[in-house]
């Protein structure tokens, strides 16, 4: 056997644990470095095989890991219609993924999430590719393709993974090269003029060097959203993802994996749906808005602005590339040194209309970029009954995040223009009538940040006896955040209104007369005393913390594991990018902390045909980061990022997998999550004081149910038929604190299905697929920016034919 193959081990995958038993064999690339055979090329495993995962940085059966974890093979993802990270909620209980008004994904796991549209904000639910952090949720906006498996870990992950996360993490493990030539191509043709292409090419350069190239192209020429006011559509898709992977065994003890990733998205952005009129200044509300509010929206209807009677360019223009290197040196049979190096670069220039009307109440252009570098070095070893990991981690991120807002017909702006032209400057001594008539249509928000994180960590697994073992881990982290931020004029457009009406209202409300004029493209937010411009010279936010985990696991018999754990995790402090009238809005939120307690079991029953996993948990939550309202003398309320002093989360989960027969597999997952704020007072969006004690967290349905039925039936000696149906139910929740009108997110059920005819050689297939099979109308995001409460709907039904070929 050649050197490359000697440096790896192959792990069989089956749903006796948490994925389908029909998943083919796949390698565990963390055993000894480079990776091997493609999963789809191997025969189906026997039911005794179990999924091997690397949640604890070593290969082990998922049923032996004392964590709440779920794993899905790459073929499972494809059959379930999962082609982007945001779709993982379809198969994962307790995971909720919403899309913000600025096209940014919002991940919430067991009630722990961070509702923000900002490019610059990290998430308490981390996303990783081969252990390299995609620390900012927007980085995960590309397509999913050529994946070996994905692992979802629930609860604080502050010990072994580089970025502290309070909610959990999602780790994608990509397919790695092997030493046999291979190629594959999948083509999908569907409604909305859809053509998708996905393929891979595996090349053995030598007996120690192999390369793999993979990609996915998604195109749809006809949008799925139809304007209710004119003959226009939104929803065209134009997205591409590429990846190149190199596996090199330099010797029997030294292996190197290199990965280069790229994606680009130039698709249409999603339009909102107006559901409630909530004017800031009722006397000045645009009368067209009163007829734009509807309660009969469907999965395919929406509305959006026009620009001078032409189709508005509400599109994304985003791109990402990443470089990752993994080097493993076996110092001895028992000790290895592992280096992980990552560099990710993302930029976006997305234009979104969010108010759900043809009136320009609010639209925004989101522009920014992030350069993120990370380096981890760890020592892995074993000594008798003890396995251990010692490591250090460093990361640095440079961030620019800008937003250009347009709200020409908002009621506040109409009031401000009226005051400027008719009360403050009726003779036009300061600005012309044209400048007043169009003034403040645009403004900008901006932030520049530099985040630096350093940590040292250690973990130990100790077998106290044949049945009892203990895991102890700790990570000390030192974080530093430098930033500047403000709201400012945009090319002189904001000045005529800000330097007149806004100054006037500040004087009326505060008694302080501003003694300055905002300059073109200059910052315009007030200092806390409202008499001068804010300096925006803020102290650096320095924070440190000690995260840790203590777990006891008892293997009662080979088929029953019982575990209990105590863990603590942190999410670092954050600075918002938002519309700012006064500098106090830009005060950073400090780090949040979760102390988690969990009890769980993993039971293999009926000779391996049934796997039943369950757990209950309780989180003591301190200083949760949350966007809330603050009173403002001009705009009634504006947003501020705050810390909720005290809250709690508790619930339970069960995951049942049944091998009904050699042909049929069944999976059912259920999760109950209860969230509750126990200490927090603030303001609602109308500016009224509110005590939020007892309120639930946003985007946290109490119940989520996931079900899957898979059938794999031979129909002849050369042909087989494979069917797959997955369903996700989420109970109702809300997108804001308290019981504010219009912010309810109704319960919904989404069903995806596929049916494929394939050859027994598994070298070709032809089939049908449908996502959102029953065209369920649902939304998982609701917000208000001014005057109108709007929804961001989920995608309508897509269906088509697909062809697959492999060699």
Contacts of 501 (CB under 8 A, 6+ apart): 415, 416, 417, 419, 420, 423, 424
Q: Give residue 297's pLDDT band: very low, low, confident or very high (50, 70, 90).
A: very high
DSSP 286: -
Q: Is 715 exposed, middle or buried (0-12, 13-18, 19+ CB in 10 A)?
A: exposed
* Across 141-146, average pLDDT: 95
Residue 516 within any structural domain of the chain: no
Give pLDDT, residue 48: 44
For every residue of 349-401, DSSP letters joined together read EEEEE-SSSSS-S-EEEEEEEEEEEEEEEEEEEEETTEEEEEEEEEEEEEEEE
**429 within a domain of the structure (yes/no):** no
CB 333, CB 257: distance < 8 Å: no
Is residue 14 pLDDT above 70, yes or no? no
- Give the pLDDT mean for 55-82: 83
- Determine the Cα angle at 235 with ends 233 and 240, to 5°: 145
Give a yes or no: residue 419 inside a domain. Answer: no
Task: Tell me: pLDDT of 23 over 80.
Answer: no
Question: Is 424 contained in some domain?
Answer: no
Is the pLDDT at 9 greater than 50? The verdict is no
Is residue 143 a contact partner of residue 84, using CB atoms and an 8 Å limit? yes
Q: What is the pLDDT of residues 742-800, one digit of tens each?
A: 889 999 999 999 999 999 888 999 999 999 999 999 998 888 888 999 999 999 999 99
When the pLDDT of each residue in the chain is averaged and rounded to a whole number, the result is: 88
CATH code of the domain in which 586 resides: 2.40.170.20
432 belongs to a structural domain: no
Residue 36 in this model has a pLDDT that exceeds 50 = no
What pLDDT, on the 0 to 100 scale, is given for residue 58?
Answer: 67
* Per-residue model confidence as pLDDT tens digits over 638-695: 888 899 999 999 999 999 999 999 999 999 999 999 999 999 988 776 667 889 999 9
User: Are residues 806 and 40 in contact, defined by beta-carbon separation less than 8 angstroms?
Assistant: yes
Q: What is the predicted pLDDT for the residue at 35?
A: 37
Give the model confidence (pLDDT) of 108-143 as tens digits: 999 999 888 888 888 999 999 999 999 999 999 999
In a domain, 240, yes or no: yes
Q: What is the residue-wise DSSP string for 659-716?
A: E-SSSEEEEEEEEEEEEEEEE-EEE-TTS-EEE-TTPPPTT--SEEEEEEEEEEEE-S
CB 782 within 8 A of CB 794: no
- The Cα 561–Cα 603 span in angstroms is 6
Helix (H) or strand (E) holding 12: none
Is pLDDT larger for residue 606 or for residue 517? Answer: 606
Least confident of 113-117, 363-367, 427-431: 113-117
Tell me the pLDDT band of 307, cut-offs 50, 70 and 90.
low
Q: Region 152-161: what's the mean pLDDT? A: 86
In a domain, 690, yes or no: yes
Burial (CB count <10 Å: 0-12, 13-18, 19+), residue 205 = middle
Residue 56 has pLDDT above 90, yes or no: no
Residue 325 has pLDDT above 90, yes or no: yes
Question: Encoding tokens for residue 557?
Answer: 């018999």
The predicted pLDDT at position 606 comes to: 94
CA distance 270 to 223: 10
Within a domain: 413: no
Lowest mean pLDDT among 417-421, 526-530, 601-605: 526-530
Q: Is the dihedral of CA 405, 411, 415, 421 positive or negative?
A: positive
- At 683 the pLDDT is 79
pLDDT at res. 684 = 73
User: CB atoms < 10 A from the CB of 60, how many?
Assistant: 19
Confidence of residue 335 (pLDDT cuts 50, 70, 90): very high
pLDDT score at 65: 81
Residue 694's Cβ-count burial label (10 Å; 0-12, 13-18, 19+) is exposed
Dihedral of CA atoms 236, 237, 238, 241 in degrees, nearest 10, equals: 180
Per-residue pLDDT tens digits for 193-223: 999 999 999 999 999 999 999 999 999 999 9
Q: Residue 66: pLDDT band by 50, 70, 90 thresholds?
A: confident
**What pLDDT score was predicted for residue 31?**
36
Structure tokens belonging to residue 223 = 């949008």
What range defines the domain where residue 780 resides? 3-406+441-489+524-806
Number of domains the chain is built from: 1
Does residue 721 register a pLDDT over 90?
yes
For the segment 693-717, the average pLDDT, to the nearest whole number, is 94
Which residue bears the tokens 């992030």? 370
Give the torsion sign (CA, 128, 134, 136, 139). Answer: negative
The string of pLDDT tens digits covering residues 535-583 is: 766 678 999 999 999 999 999 999 999 999 999 999 999 888 888 888 8
User: What contacts 24+ positions apart, CB below 8 Å, involve 84-88?
Assistant: 84/141, 84/142, 84/143, 84/144, 85/127, 85/140, 85/141, 85/144, 85/170, 85/172, 86/140, 87/144, 88/150, 88/152, 88/170
Q: Are 685 and 784 in contact, with CB atoms under 8 Å apart?
A: yes
Place of tokens 């990752």: 324
DSSP 591: P
Report whether 272 contacts 228 (CB < 8 A): no
């Amino acid at each position: 056997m050649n050197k490359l193959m000697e440096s790896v081990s192959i792990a069989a995958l089956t749903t006796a644990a948490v994925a389908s038993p029909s998943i083919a064999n796949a390698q565990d690339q963390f055993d000894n470095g480079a990776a091997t055979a493609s999963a789809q090329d191997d025969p189906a495993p026997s039911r005794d095989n179990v999924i091997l995962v690397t949640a604890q940085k070593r290969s082990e059966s998922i049923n032996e890991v004392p964590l709440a974890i779920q794993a899905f093979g790459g073929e499972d993802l494809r059959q379930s219609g999962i082609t982007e990270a945001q779709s993982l909620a379809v198969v994962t209980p307790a995971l909720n993924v919403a899309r913000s008004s600025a096209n940014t994904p919002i991940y919430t796991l067991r009630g722990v999430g961070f509702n923000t549209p900002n490019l610059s904000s990290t998430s308490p639910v981390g996303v990783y590719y081969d252990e390299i952090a995609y620390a900012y949720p927007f980085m995960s906006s590309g397509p999913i393709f050529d994946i070996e498996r994905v692992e979802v870990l629930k609860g604080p992950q502050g010990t072994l993974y580089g970025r502290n996360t309070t909610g959990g993490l999602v780790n994608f493990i990509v397919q790695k090269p092997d030493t046999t030539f291979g190629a594959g191509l999948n083509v999908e043709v569907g409604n909305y003029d859809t053509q998708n292409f996905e393929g891979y090419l595996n090349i053995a350069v030598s007996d120690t060097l192999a390369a793999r190239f993979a990609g996915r192209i998604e195109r749809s020429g006809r949008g799925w959203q139809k304007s209710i006011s004119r003959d226009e559509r939104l929803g065209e898709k134009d997205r591409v993802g590429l990846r190149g992977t190199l596996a090199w065994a330099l010797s029997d003890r030294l292996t190197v994996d290199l990965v280069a990733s790229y994606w680009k998205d130039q698709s249409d952005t999603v339009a909102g749906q107006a559901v409630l009129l909530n004017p800031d200044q009722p006397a000045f509300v645009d009368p067209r808005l009163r007829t734009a509010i509807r309660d009969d929206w469907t999965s395919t209807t929406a509305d959006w602005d026009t620009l001078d009677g032409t189709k508005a360019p509400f599109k994304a223009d985003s791109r990402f590339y990443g470089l990752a290197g993994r080097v493993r040196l076996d110092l001895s049979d028992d000790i290895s040194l592992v280096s992980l190096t990552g560099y990710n670069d993302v930029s976006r220039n997305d234009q979104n209309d969010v108010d759900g009307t043809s009136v320009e109440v609010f639209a925004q252009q989101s522009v920014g970029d992030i350069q993120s570098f990370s380096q981890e070095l760890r020592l892995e070893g074993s000594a008798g009954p003890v396995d251990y990991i010692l490591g250090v981690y460093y990361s640095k991120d440079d961030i620019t995040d800008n937003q250009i807002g347009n709200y020409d017909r908002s009621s506040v702006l109409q009031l401000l223009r009226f005051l400027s032209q008719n009360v403050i400057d009726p003779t036009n001594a300061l600005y012309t009538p044209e400048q007043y008539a169009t003034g403040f249509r645009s403004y900008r928000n901006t932030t520049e940040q530099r985040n630096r994180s350093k940590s040292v960590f250690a973990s130990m697994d100790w077998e106290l006896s044949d049945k009892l073992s203990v895991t102890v881990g700790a990570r000390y982290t030192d974080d530093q955040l430098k930033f500047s931020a403000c709201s400012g004029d945009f090319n002189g457009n904001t000045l005529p209104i800000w330097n007149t009406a806004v100054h006037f209202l500040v004087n009326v409300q505060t008694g302080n007369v501003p003694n300055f004029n905002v300059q073109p493209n200059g910052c315009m937010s007030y200092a806390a005393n409202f008499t001068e411009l804010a300096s925006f010279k803020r102290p650096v936010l320095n924070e440190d913390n000690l995260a840790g985990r203590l777990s006891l696991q008892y293997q009662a018999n080979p088929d029953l594991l019982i575990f209990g754990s105590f863990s603590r995790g942190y999410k670092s402090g954050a600075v918002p990018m938002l519309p700012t009238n006064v500098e106090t809005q830009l005060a950073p939120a400090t780090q949040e902390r979760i102390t988690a307690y969990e009890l769980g079991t993993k039971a293999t029953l009926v000779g391996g045909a049934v796997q039943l996993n369950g757990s209950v948990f309780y989180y003591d939550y301190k200083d949760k980061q949350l966007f809330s309202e603050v009173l403002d003398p001009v705009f009634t309320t504006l947003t501020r990022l705050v810390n909720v002093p005290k809250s709690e989360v508790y619930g339970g989960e069960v995951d049942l997998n049944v091998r009904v027969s050699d042909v049929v597999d069944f999976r059912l997952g259920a999760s109950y999550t209860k969230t509750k704020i126990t200490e927090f007072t603030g303001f609602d969006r109308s500016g009224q004081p509110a005590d939020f004690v007892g309120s639930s967290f946003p985007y946290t349905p109490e119940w989520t149910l996931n079900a899957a039925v898979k059938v794999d039936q031979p129909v002849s000696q050369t042909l087989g038929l494979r069917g797959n149906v997955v369903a996700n139910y989420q109970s109702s929740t809300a997108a804001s604190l308290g019981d504010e009108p219009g912010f309810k997110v109704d319960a919904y059920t989404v069903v995806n299905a596929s049916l494929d005819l394939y050859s027994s050689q598994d070298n070709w297939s032809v089939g049908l697929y449908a996502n959102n099979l029953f065209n369920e109308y649902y939304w998982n995001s609701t917000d208000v920016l001014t005057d109108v409460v709007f929804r961001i709907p989920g995608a309508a039904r897509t269906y088509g034919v697909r062809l697959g070929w492999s060699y």
